[in-house]
Amino acid sequence: MSLPPLLHGESLGKTYVTPVLSDVSFDLQAGEVLALTGENGAGKSTLTKIVAGLIPPTGGVMRLNGEAFQPASRRDAEHLGVRMVLQELGLIPTLTVAENLMLDHLPSKAGFIRRDVLNEAAERQMASIGLEHINPRTLVGQLGVGHQQMVEIARNLVGDCRLLILDEPTAALTSREIDHLFAQIALLKQRGVGIIYISHRLDELQDVADRVMVLRDGRHIDTRQMSEVNQDDIVRLMVGRDVRESLDRPRRPAGKLALEVRGMSRGKVVQDVSLGLHHGEILGVAGLVGAGRTELLRLIYGADRRDSGEIFLDGDTKPADIPTPMSAVSQGIGLVTEDRKTQGLLLPLPIRVNATLANIAAISHKGWLQPADERAQVNRLSDLLGVRSQSIEQPVGELSGGNQQKVVFARWLHRDCKVLLLDEPTRGVDIGARADIYAQMDQLAEAGKALLMVSSDLRELMSVCDRIAVMSAGRLVKVFERGEWTQHSLLEAAFSGYLASGTATTPSSTEMTHH
C-alpha cells in the first residue's frame, strides 16, 4: 500500500471581494521540492498562507500525512511541523541571534533566562545548517540581510519541521549564500522534509526543484517534472504567451542632452562622477553592491546632500538647483525607488491616491480636487499598465509586488516627467510584469523621455539599455555603447576599481547577477 502524500490540497479557494484563488488541487511528497511559480497576483502567496495557517481558505480541504489538516493559526500549523519563511523577515533586530532562534523555547530557571543553555542550543541549531561561524550572541540588527535570511530559515527549523515553505528566500542572498542554502535544502530532502519553494528566478528553480507547479489568475494551470520543461515552457505557462528578450535589438536614436552630471561627489560612496543622459535613451548603471549606484541616483534627485558637483538640465549652461526631491519633481525628474514599500508607496492608501500623489494639480481646479477627473486618469493608467486589482480604491498594500511597482510607474506617467531615475525597477517582480514594465520603458523612450536605470541584473541591462555605465568603488569607470559590451567586460569593469585601489571585497558586498 502506497503512503499518502505529505500534503494534499483539494479544491482550495479564497475569496475576498472577488476570488483570488479558485479550485486549486495539488500534492507534495515527503523529501520533495515543489517549485511554486506564477506572475505577481497569480495566487502563490495566498495558497502558501493557507497552508501555513496565516489565513483560512474559503473552500476546499487539506490533508497532512493522510490526516485532516485545518490550521487555525500559524502557531497551530507550526505545532504540526509546517513552517513558512516569509519574504519580509520576522526577526527582532534588537535581540540576539540566539534569542530570535529560541524565542518560543527560552530556557529559564527561577524566572531568569539561562544564557549558557540558550547560547549552546543556538550554536547547535546554527551548526546544523552550516552557520557555526555566526556568533549566537550577536544582535540580529548587526548582521547583513543575507545572514539574517539564513537565521530566519534556521529559526523555522527549530523543533520538528516536516514541511517548509520558502518565499523568495534568495532575494537578498549572494551567489555563495545561495549555494549554501541549496546545500541545506538537499540535506532537508534527505531528512524527508517537503519544501514548497517560491521564486521568480527560473534558472534557480531548475537547480533546486523536483517539480514545478504554475498558477495563473488564481488557478492551477499545470504541474510538471522539472526535468521535462525549460524556462521558455515555464514562462508560457505563467503568462499564457511567449516573452522574448531583446538582446540584439538596435540602439535607439539619442536626442538632445536631457541631463548632465559633472563632478558629482559624496564622501567615498560617489567620487567625481560625470555623465550625460539624452532624450529618447535608456542609460543603464551597472556595478557591484556598494559601488555607489543608488547613492548617485539619490544625489541627482536631491534626496542626499552632495559634497560637490553640478547638474544641468536640457542643455542649459546654468546649473539646476535641486536641493530636495520636491525641487527635482518640479523640474521634471522622477525616481522609482529601490524600496517601494517604505520609500515609494503609501501602503494603507488606495491605488487612486498613490498614482496621483506627484501631480495633484492635474486633477484639481482652483484648489479643489476633481474626483471624476482623478478616477478617469487613474483608471486609464491602471489599464495602460495592466494593474491587477479589485478597483482603484484597493489599498496598495494588498497588491502583489509587481502590481505595486506598476502603481509607482503610474505616478510618474501621471506626472509626465522628462527624466526618470529607475533604481532596481524589476526587483521582486515576476517575468510577466517585468515584460510589461520593459514595454512601458520602451514607450517612454520613444516619446523622448530620458531614463537612467540601476540594476544588478546584467542580462536585464543588456536587454533594455542603449548604453551601460559601470561604477566601481564609487567611481564611474567606463561607459559601453550597445554592441560594445559582453557580460565579461561589464564584470571586469565592475571589479576594476576595487582591484586598482587594493580594496578587499567580500561576496556579500560585491556580487551581481549575470544569469
- 305-320 tens-digit pLDDT: 999 999 999 999 999 9
Mean residue pLDDT of the chain comes to 86
> Does the pLDDT at position 210 exceed 60?
yes
> Does the pLDDT at position 328 exceed 60?
yes
Q: Is pLDDT larger for residue 68 or for residue 383?
A: 68
Tell me, what's the pLDDT at 247?
Answer: 60
- pLDDT band of residue 422 (cuts 50, 70, 90) is very high
Tell me the average pLDDT across 383-409: 85
- Residues 360 and 369: their CA atoms lie apart, in Å, by 8
> Does the pLDDT at position 501 exceed 60?
no
Q: CB count, 10 Å around CB of 443?
A: 12
Tell me, what's the pLDDT at 506?
Answer: 38
- pLDDT band of residue 148 (cuts 50, 70, 90) is confident
> Does the pLDDT at position 508 exceed 50?
no
Tell me, what's the pLDDT at 504?
Answer: 39
End-to-end CA, the chain: 44
Strands 257-266 and 108-109: what pairing?
A: unpaired
How many Cα atoms are found within 13 Å in the side-chain-facing hemisphere of 381? Answer: 26
Same fold, 7-239 and 252-332+417-515: yes
- pLDDT band of residue 515 (cuts 50, 70, 90) is very low
- pLDDT band of residue 499 (cuts 50, 70, 90) is low
- The structural architecture, per CATH, of the domain 252-332+417-515 is 3-Layer(aba) Sandwich (3.40)
Tell me, what's the pLDDT at 221?
Answer: 93
Instruction: Please give the full DSSP string across 136-167, using - where no structure is assigned.
Output: TTSBGGGS-HHHHHHHHHHHHTSS--SEEEEE
> Does the pLDDT at position 242 exceed 70?
no
State whether the Cα torsion 220-27-85-170 is positive or negative. negative
Q: In the chain, what percentage of residues exceed pLDDT 90?
A: 42
Q: CB count, 10 Å around CB of 98?
A: 26
Tell me, what's the pLDDT at 271?
Answer: 95
> Does the pLDDT at position 436 exceed 90?
no
**Nine cell digits for residue 146:** 543575507
Query: Given 3.40.50.20, 3.40.50.300, 3.20.20.70, 3.10.450.50, which CATH number is that of 7-239?
Result: 3.40.50.300
Question: Which residue carries 536641493 as its cell?
Answer: 323
Q: Is pLDDT larger for residue 63 or for residue 170?
A: 63
Regarding pTM above 0.75, the answer is no
Please provide the size of the chain in residues: 515
**Strand-pair partners of 266:** 270
> Does the pLDDT at position 321 exceed 90?
yes
Range of weakest confidence among 124-133, 211-220, 357-366, 458-467: 124-133
Q: Is pLDDT larger for residue 12 or for residue 431?
A: 12
> Does the pLDDT at position 95 exceed 50?
yes
> Does the pLDDT at position 2 exceed 50?
yes
Range of weakest confidence among 81-90, 208-217, 249-258, 291-300: 81-90
- Residues 87 and 287: their CA atoms lie apart, in Å, by 25
Q: Is pLDDT larger for residue 289 or for residue 224?
A: 224
Range of weakest confidence among 37-41, 91-95, 99-103, 489-493: 37-41
Domain ranges of the chain: 7-239, 252-332+417-515, 342-416
Contacting residues for 496 by C-beta, under 8 A, at least 6 apart: 472, 477, 478
> Does the pLDDT at position 507 exceed 70?
no
- pLDDT band of residue 503 (cuts 50, 70, 90) is very low
**Nine cell digits for residue 147:** 545572514
- Residues 478 and 467: their CA atoms lie apart, in Å, by 10
Q: Is pLDDT larger for residue 389 or for residue 189?
A: 189
**Nine cell digits for residue 113:** 533566562
3-class SS of residue 436: helix
